Structures are given as C-alpha cells and as structure tokens.
Amino acid sequence: MNIVLFGEDIFTATVLQSLVEDEQIIVHAVICPVYPNNFGYRVLKNAAARYKTPFFHKTDINDSETEELLSQIKPDFIISVHLRKILTKRIYSLAGYALNLHPSILPKYRGLSPQHQCLINGDAETGVTIHLIEETIDTGDIVIQEKIALTKEMYVFDLHVKMLEVYKYITRDAIYLLKSKNFKPVKQSNLSSSWYGSLKKDDRRIDLKKTKFDVYNLIRAVSKPYKGAFYDNIIIWRAYVPDADKEKFLLNKYSGNGIYIIGDEENEVLIRLADGVLLSDDFEDTNQ
C-alpha cells in the first residue's frame, strides 16, 4: 500500500514509524507545512531521514508541485496528522482514501485545540479519531476511535504521552479496516458536535471570578510544553488544592481575590478565588 503522510510534529513522526515498520506499507513522502518560528518540524524531518523517506517542507502544501508528486505516486492513502493547514479537495482526492487523525472523540472538539479543551472542561475521557477527509473540517465519516481516560491529576503533557501510545497503532489499524471487506465508516452526528479554534493569549489568562477547579483545569490544560496559564506577570505551571484546614486558614488570611507570593523564601504562589484557593510551587515571575 502506497502512503503519503502530511503532518508537522512528533505525533506525525510516531505515525510515520508505525507505518514504515509494516512490510505491506510504503510511505513515499512526508509533506510538512512551513510556519514562522516553528521548530517542532525537526523531529519529523529527522524521523523521515532515519527511515529514508523523502521529506518536503513547503510553504503551500496544496501547490502544483504537491499535486504533481501525488499524481506520480498515485497513493492508496493520504494521511493527515495534526495538520493545521487545510488540504484542498484537489489534493486529497488524488488518493484512494484520505484520512485525518484528530485528537478527540469526534464530533466533540472539532477544530484546533481538542487536547486543551477536554482538560479545560474537566472531562472524564477524551480520545483519538481517524475519519475520512471532506471539505468541511473534522466532519468526515469515522473509521476508528479509541478512548483515553482522564484523571484530575493529568496535565496536557501526560495526555500527550497517552495519545502517543495510541498513535503507534491506530493509523495502521484504520488502513486495514478500510481494506477489509464489508467495512463501512460511520457518519458523524452533528447533535453533540462542538468546535474550537486555536488557543489565544487571553484564553490562558487566569480569571479570578472562576472557581478553583476551573482555574486548576486551565492550568493543567495549557502547561508545558505550551505557554502556561498566567495572571499579570506570573505564569503558573502546576497547582494543587490544599487540605481543608489549610485552605480555611488561607482564606481568612488573604481576604481579597488575587495572586500572592508567599512562603519564607517567596517560593510559592497562592491564587485566591471566591470559592477557595490554589497553591503552586512551580511558577515563573516574568518580571525577574
């Protein structure tokens, strides 16, 4: 089976590895879009070099050069992984099947920030979907889904680790499902759908009017390797809820909502909210 892979990060590199390790699959090319100040593509470029797969780093992934390449390869599958650019129908229709790997249980969290939104909303589970590509974003028929349980202790980095484990096999499984007899992808329902754009700076700003669990969920959703939740000049990387006695003491001591640097060595941050407090010993003061 002939494959052309579109992607831009370590997740795409993991899918690439899973495909080249299968003797029945040939990955003829990896096509990666160019973004300003994006160095994550290097992991994918290095993986392509390791597996001797031609790598194309392109400003326009839908240009005539891509069209000519695909016309020559005649791929059985075009596979898109975490691709922030939209493939045009002129391009994705040059394969027998065009698949997209999306990090949510579609139709929930269509769009560009699913890994963050499931944590921000305190969901009990998320997952990975592979679906057929069509002209509207993340709406194509579902080939396969795998759920991932979420705990209240998980940060976005922990979720990445869980997802990478699924990426090691789910694309290959989807390919073999589509090649099997009598398999039919499942149409998505729009009744429970949701869509989010990419996270902006204001989306990471701590709102002191929110509950402590809302703020805690935001912190874990945008922590490293992302830019972190912040209030004024303080970035909070991790936080926790103190026990009931300590929380009561701190609520009495710090009566107004806000961010306080506390501790004998000013090595802890207190986030005072209307319904309680959060503490953090993993923070950054950007003024220092």
Candidate from 6-10, 39-43, 94-98, 150-154 with smallest mean pLDDT: 39-43
User: Do 51 and 182 share a domain, yes or no?
Assistant: yes
Is pLDDT of 77 > 70? Answer: yes
In a domain, 50, yes or no: yes
User: Do 46 and 163 share a domain, yes or no?
Assistant: yes
pLDDT at 288: 59
Q: Identify the domain boundary among 196, 230, 256.
A: 196
The angle formed by the CA atoms of residues 2, 70 and 54, to the nearest 5 degrees, is: 70
When pLDDT is cut at 50, 70 and 90, the band that residue 191 belongs to is: confident
Model pLDDT for residues 143-190, shown as the tens digit of each residue = 999 999 999 999 999 999 999 999 999 999 999 999 998 899 999 988
Average pLDDT over residues 7-36: 95
In a domain, 201, yes or no: no
Q: How many domains does the chain have?
A: 2
Amino acid making up residue 231 = Y
User: Do 168 and 279 share a domain, yes or no?
Assistant: no
Closest by Cα among 118, 114, 135, 124 to 195 = 114
Exposure string of 170-189, with b = 16+ CB inside 10 Å and e = fewer, is: bbbebbeebeeeeeebeebe
Tell me the CA distances in angstroms from 240 to 25, 194, 276, one per residue in order.
Answer: 46, 29, 11
Which H or E run contains 119? Answer: helix 114-120
pLDDT at 264: 74
φ/ψ of residue 207, rounded to 5: -100, 115
In a domain, 211, yes or no: yes
pTM of the model: 0.93
Contacts of 244 (CB under 8 A, 6+ apart): none
Show the domain range for 46.
Answer: 2-196
Average pLDDT over residues 96-120: 97
Average pLDDT over residues 236-240: 97
How do the residues of the chain divide into helix, strand and coil, expressed in percent and rounded to 5?
30, 30, 40
Q: Which residues pair with 272 in a beta bridge?
A: 258, 277
Model pLDDT for residues 127-145, shown as the tens digit of each residue = 999 999 999 999 999 999 9
Q: Rounded distance, CA 168 to CA 158, Å?
A: 16
Q: Which residue has the tokens 């390791």?
A: 50
Residue 25's CATH number: 3.40.50.12230
Is pLDDT of 55 > 70? Answer: yes
Contact 11, 48 (CB under 8 A): no
Model pLDDT for residues 1-21, shown as the tens digit of each residue = 999 999 999 999 999 999 999
| Residue 137 neighbours by CB distance under 10 Å | 14
pLDDT at 266: 77
When pLDDT is cut at 50, 70 and 90, the band that residue 34 belongs to is: very high
pLDDT at 39: 75
